Structure formats: structure tokens, C-alpha cells
Amino acid sequence: MLHNASREAAPDERIIVETPFGRLRGERSGAILCFKGVPYAAAPVGALRFRPPQPLKPWAGTRDALTFAPVAPQPPDPGFYPGDPDAMPPIPASEDCLYLNIWTPAAAGPHPVLVWLHGGSQIVGGTSRPVYDGAAFARAGVTCVTVGHRLGLLGFLEGGRIFGECFRGSGNSALRDIVAALSWVRQAIAVFGGDPGRVTIGGESAGAKNVAALLAAPSAKGLFHAAFSSSGGGDTVHAIDGADAVAGRALALAGCDVRYLQTMPVADLIALQTRLSGEEVRRQPFRAVLDGAFLPDTPQRLVPRERVPVLMGTARDEVAALLSEPQRASAKAPQAWDGRQLTHLPPSLMAEAEARALRLWPGLPANIRRLRLLTAEEYELPSIRLAEAHAAAGGPTWVYRNDRPLAVGPFAGLAPHVADLGLIWNQPGPYGTPTALGERGMHEVVATFIRTGTVPWTQYSAERRATQVFRMGGAELQMDPSEDMRRIFDGLFHL
């Protein structure tokens, strides 16, 4: 049973609430309350490395919740180009990283809740990235929760083969962390004015792919009531043999007794992780695992079981941010396909897709053709395939695409990966300009979806494929803007 909240506004704008786990001291700024660095599970350190998250023990006294907790251990984030303002800032890191943050209206609730999962290819990122300031959502009447979780080897190393069957399922430790956070939200968010019966999970990039996995995970059922995915999809998963193979390669690279991985200094573990990523045949070796328990099958096959409202979208030029400047600029015939350029399909199938694209667009410059193919393969089509599966099962589904180009910088004129983050979070900077409440920009659309479970355009279906396209100055509904790409890749996906 939840404790009653005790909101004691002090002259220094501190505020105290009584949670089921103990008292928290947060901060009030105008009409917004903020609590940072709130633990939601026991620290996954020592013997708990590579283990499922353990329940949080109550604490005595009053705990300060005024600053962000350390992020999960991770390598430095170079960003997409030198000086990229969206790169993860240097912030203290620790294996003790299972914390969340809350921004909520000071006005009495209950308010709908957004639980946000950050991006970063499952190896970098955290809730203290400046764009994830939840004050904008709180001003829109939403209780906003951002979740930190384990990353890289600590969050996605499948240990069943190398450590023994008692570690089977550790490849989904990060996802289990998120489920633990959602369980905490169900138990405690009412204290902060949030409604545990109206929880939307949302995420971008790796976070959106984690949203897809949670839509399919039996243990997450009932912990959320709507889902938002930006630049995600359900294809970035490992079959169990693939996850075991990655673990075997990690152990071989480490060159040590398997037991040492459980005590290896975290700096050495991150160095090993970086070497492993550099030697993998494809990008993103750290991904959700079809372990037969936490994730019994692919999201496309399982997502119809969870018929919550779903809003998902991508950006028009997603992988521009992942290509080098020469790759973006050269109109010459590109080099042969390399597995490191993509995540899902092998080079032979990408070569077939390119041959089809040449026949469909004979006059298109080679660099633009490859940009479109990689964007479709990595983000656009996986998101559409997930939307199709959800809509076909009767789940309310809406799809959008961000075509709004950046005005300045190395991606000027393009709408690349993460370009819509500032728009979603209503933050200033190179990726967006804040809008006023009531304006129908992306932030207002997402906030409306969180509050109501719907958005003001036609639902997606395989028959109509209605897609809201956001452009400079507004948005328009288009029917099947991805038709050409669906034709090019028809029959090539076999996940």
C-alpha cells in the first residue's frame, strides 16, 4: 500500500515526499517538482554483476534526490562529428547505476506518466544528457521519469554458455533493469502525483528498440499502458546461439579465466567491450536476446499480445549521422557492402537490395541511394514491420516520419538520426526550437499521446499505411511514403 505524500515546501524550495522505500528530498522550481538520482533496485555490484536486478531495500532517514546519479560504465562518446553537441557529456560512471529521475507538476494529480529509455547503441548514454530535461513534459501535465540501466557487457553479456546455466538470461540484464524500474513506478509514482494506471514507455534509438522488446516481454505486461518509439524497430535482437557466440568471443579476447570477468576492474571491462565491438562482423553486438524466458520470441511475433496504443516513427535520413563525410558527399559508386555498415541483413542481401534500387531509381546518385537503403534497413522498415504486426492484431497504431531538415552543421538539409530529440523534448539547440504549449509540433503530439492514448491523424494499417510527415512549418498525412522501400526489400527480411 502506498504511503501518503508529504510535500513540505521549504524556503529554499526543497520538498520532501514519503515513498514506500523511504523519505526523499527533492526540489521545487515554480510549478514543477524534481527528484534526481532515485534508486529503484539494489546496486548490481560485486556478486550481483551479470545477475538480475534485486529488490530495493528501504532506507532510514531522508535521502537527498537533488543531483543525477552516476551513469552506467561506458566508453567516451565521440558523437556523430567533432564537437557534436548531442554527444554524451563526461559524467561520473559507476556500476551502481540503477537510478531514475522524476519531473512532475506541483499541482495535484493524478497525472499521466512517461517512462523514458535513453539511446546510445546500448553502450553509451544516460539520463543526465541535457536534452532529457523532463520539465517540458511536466509543464504539459505529464509526470516524466527517465531511467538509467546497465549498458554494454554489463547489461547484455549472455552468460549461460561461459558462466553456466545459472547465468542464462543475463543477456537481458539491462531490460530486466527497466522492468524493475517500471515495477518501482507502479509501486511509488502515485506519491509524486503520477497515475500508475496511465504509464507510457518511450524511447529513442536503442531506447526505442528496448521499448519493442518490452512490448514482447511477458514480465513487462501490465506495467505500462501505451508505448512510443522514435527510431527503433524490433529487429535488433540476438538468437540465443548468436548471443552465446558473442560471449565466447568476449571471453577469447579477454584471454583470462571466465571467473575473472565477474571481478575484472570496470575500466578493463570497458576496454574489452570496445575491442569486441571493433571486431564484430556487424555493428551493435549488444542487443536483446531471445533467451526463451524473458524474451521468448522476436518482438514482431510477440508484440500482438500487448494491444496497447503505440506511436512510432523514424527520421527521413537516419543513417546520415552514421556515415562519414566522404560517404555522404561522394556520388561515385560506393564500395562493396561491408557487414559493419548494417545491423540486420548480410552483405549479399544488401547487394540485392541495391540492384533493385538501381532499377527503380536509375538516375539517383550512389551516395543518396545508399543513404536511403541503410536508413530503410536499419530503422524505417523495422519500425514499419513492428507497426504492421501491432495494427494487424488490432492494437491502436500511429506512424510518423520526421522530414524536418537541420538548418546548420554537417547535416544541414538532412533529417538524421537523433535530429528529432530536441523536437520531442521541446529543447533548444541544433536539433530543435521550443514551441509554445498548444502548438502542434512533435512535443505537443507526444504529450497528447501520453495524456490521451491517441493522436490527431488516421491510424496505421497495412491497407492505408497512414503516416504523419513532419516538415518545416507543419505536417501532412501521407499514404504509404515508404512504398518504394518496401518493394525494394520485399522478401529479404527473414527474422
Give the per-residue SS3 of 392-458.
HCCCCEEEEEECCCECCCCCECCCCCCCCHHHHHCCCECCECCCCCCCCCHHHHHHHHHHHCCCCCC
What local confidence, expressed as pLDDT, does residue 5 receive?
43
Total domains in the chain come to 2
Residue 485 domain-assigned? yes
What local confidence, expressed as pLDDT, does residue 1 receive?
28
Where is the domain boundary, 256, 274, 308? 308
What local confidence, expressed as pLDDT, does residue 302 receive?
75
Task: Determine contact, residues 137/103, Cβ cutoff 8 Å.
Answer: yes
Q: What is the pLDDT of residues 412-435, one digit of tens each?
A: 889 999 888 888 999 876 555 666
Residue 257 domain-assigned? yes
CA angle 150, 153, 157 (to 5 degrees): 105
Range of the domain at 149: 1-308
Work out whether the CA dihedral 288, 291, 293, 298 comes out positive or negative: positive
Residue 467 domain-assigned? yes
pTM as predicted? 0.93
What local confidence, expressed as pLDDT, does residue 300 receive?
82
Q: b/e for 318-352, b at 16 or more Cβ within 10 A?
A: bbbbbbeeebbeeeeeeeebeeebbbbbebebbeb
Instruction: Return the SS3 of 314.
Output: strand
Residue 136 and residue 196 in one domain: yes
Work out whether the CA dihedral 291, 293, 299, 301 comes out positive or negative: positive
Residue 283 and residue 334 in one domain: no
Q: How far apart are CA 20 and CA 15, in angstroms?
A: 17
- How would you write the pLDDT of the chain (495 residues) with one tens digit per residue? 233 344 444 445 899 999 999 999 999 999 999 999 999 999 999 999 999 999 999 999 999 999 999 999 999 988 887 778 778 888 899 999 999 999 999 999 899 999 999 999 999 999 999 899 999 999 999 999 999 999 999 999 999 999 999 999 999 999 999 999 999 999 999 999 999 999 999 999 999 999 999 999 999 999 999 999 999 999 899 999 999 999 999 999 999 989 999 999 999 999 999 999 887 766 678 999 999 999 998 888 876 566 899 999 999 999 998 776 656 666 565 677 776 667 678 888 999 999 999 999 999 988 899 899 999 999 999 999 999 999 998 999 999 999 998 888 888 889 999 888 888 999 876 555 666 555 568 899 999 999 999 999 999 999 999 999 998 878 899 999 999 999 999 998 765
> What is the grid cell recorded at 53?
536486478
Task: Determine contact, residues 102/91, Cβ cutoff 8 Å.
Answer: no
Residue 359: exposed, middle, or buried by beta-carbon count in 10 A (0-12, 13-18, 19+)?
A: exposed
Residue 314 domain-assigned? no
What local confidence, expressed as pLDDT, does residue 10 receive?
46
Residue 166 domain-assigned? yes
Quickly tell me which residue has 490527431 as its cell: 456
What local confidence, expressed as pLDDT, does residue 473 receive?
79
Residue 345 and residue 201 in one domain: no
Instruction: Return the SS3 of 285.
Output: coil
> What is the grid cell recorded at 191?
506519491
Where is the domain boundary, 281, 308, 335? 308
Least Cα distance to 231 among 251, 202, 254 occurs for: 202
Q: How far apart are CA 77 and CA 396, in angstroms?
A: 37
Where is the domain boundary, 308, 330, 362? 308
Residue 16 domain-assigned? yes
